[in-house]
Structure 1
Amino acid sequence: VARRPAKAPEPEPKAPAVAPPPPAAPEPVELVEVKDYETKTSPAEPDPSAPPPKSFEELDPNLGWAVNQKGLAWTDLAEAAPEATRQWQRWYRKSAQPSDPRVVEQTFSTLMDALDGIEVDRALLERKLARCKRSVQKLAGSAGEPRYDSLKARYGELVKEVGFEPWRREGQALAVDITLLEADLRVLEAEAAAAPTSTSTSG
C-alpha cells in the first residue's frame, strides 16, 4: 500500500501591520494683543554722570537771543509752537513752575526746533504787517501825535517794501524792521491803555 505523502505545514499567518500613531497635535498658541505703548522704548534713566538740566533762568536768554537773531517776534514763535510758547510764557511770568527740570529743557528744544523751521518768506512778513495794521487802526485816535504819525509812516513804507518783486533787501532785514515796528506799536498801545480818560464835569 502506497503511503500518502505528509502534508506540508501551513505557514503561520502574519500579524497585520500596525499603522504608526498619528503625530501629536501642536499645543494651541495663545495670541496676546500687544499695545502700541508696549512696543515703544521707555525713557532712559538719567545718567548720574551727566550734568544737571539747565534751569529756565539759564535757557531763557538763549531762546530770546535766537528769536532776535532771526529778526522775529515772540508772536511769530507762538504761531509755530503755540502750546510750548504759552508754557514758556507762564514760566516767565512766574505763574507756573515746572515740576521736573527736564521739562524745561524739553520745552526749550521744542521751541528751538520750531524756530529753526520758521521760514522768513513773503507770507510771514505779510502776517507780521497784518498785526501792525491792526495796531495802527486801534491807535487811530492818536492821529496827529508825532509818535503815532511816525509809526504809521514806517508801516506804510514797510508795506511798500514787502510788496516789491523782487525785494530790495533780504527778508530777514525786513523782518527785523517789522518786528521793531511791532514792539513800538505795542508800547504806544500800552501807554494809550494806561492813560486816564478825560471826563467833562459840570459844576
Structure 2
Amino acid sequence: AVGHNFTYASAREFVRTRIAGSAGAEQGRTRWLEEIWEAWDGNRALRNLHPLTPERFRRAERMNACALPDAVKEHPYARYDIAVREERPTPACSLIFLATGRFETIRKFAANLADTLPDDCEVIACVSSKDPDALRFLQEKSGIRVVRITDIANTRQAWTAGVHAATGDILIFISTLVEVYGDWLEGILAAFEQGDTTVYVPRIMHHHASRALLFESRRGQYNAL
C-alpha cells in the first residue's frame, strides 16, 4: 500500500498544530515556522524545506495535476494551489483529446501526458459513454476532466464538447495515437508567443520502429495556418 501525507500541504493552522506537537527541539520548530513556512508566500524558491531534517525536501516544484497520484484526485485540497488559501490559477492552455482506439493506447497516452505537461495546462478527455473501461480509467486519473460523448464517431460534436469545457486561452487538440515527449507542449506555446498567427500545426513524424506518430521535438518547428 502507498500512503500520501498532507502534513506540509495543509491549512496553516493545521500545520502549526502538527509541527508544535512533533518531536525535535522547540527552537528548530520555531525557526522553521518563521523562516520557511511564514516566508513561503514571499519567496517560493526557498530550499531545504523539511522542518526537522531540512535536506529531505531540497525544494518545491510545480507540477501538472496529471502527475499527482490518482488517489488524491478527489481530495478537498486538490483544487488549491496553496491549501485552503489560494486556488489553482486559470490554466494557460487546455489540451483536448478524444479517447479513441484500444484501451492500452489510451493508457499509454495518459502516462505520457503526466510525464511531459507543464503545470499550467488542463487536460480534457472526450470519452464515449459506450466505452466503460476508458470512462472509468480516465475518471479516476488525476488531472483529467472527462466529458461524456454520446457519439464519439461524430468528431466535430466531440471536439466542440471539449471546447465548451475548456477554460484556457489556448486550445490544443491532439490524438491519442500521438506519442509526446520532452517539452513538446512548451514548443507549441512558444510558437504562439513568438508569432501573430492564431492556429499552429506541429510537425509530425513517423518512428520507423513502431510506426507511432511523434511530435517534432525541436521548439518552434510549426506550420502556421
Give the TM-score normalised by structure 1. 0.27
Higher strand share: 2
- Normalised to the residue count of structure 2, the TM-score between the two structures is 0.25
Q: Which structure shows the bigger proportion of residues in helix conformation?
A: 1
The structure showing larger relative contact order (alpha-carbon pairs under 8 Å, at least 6 residues apart) is 1
Q: Rg bigger for which structure?
A: 1
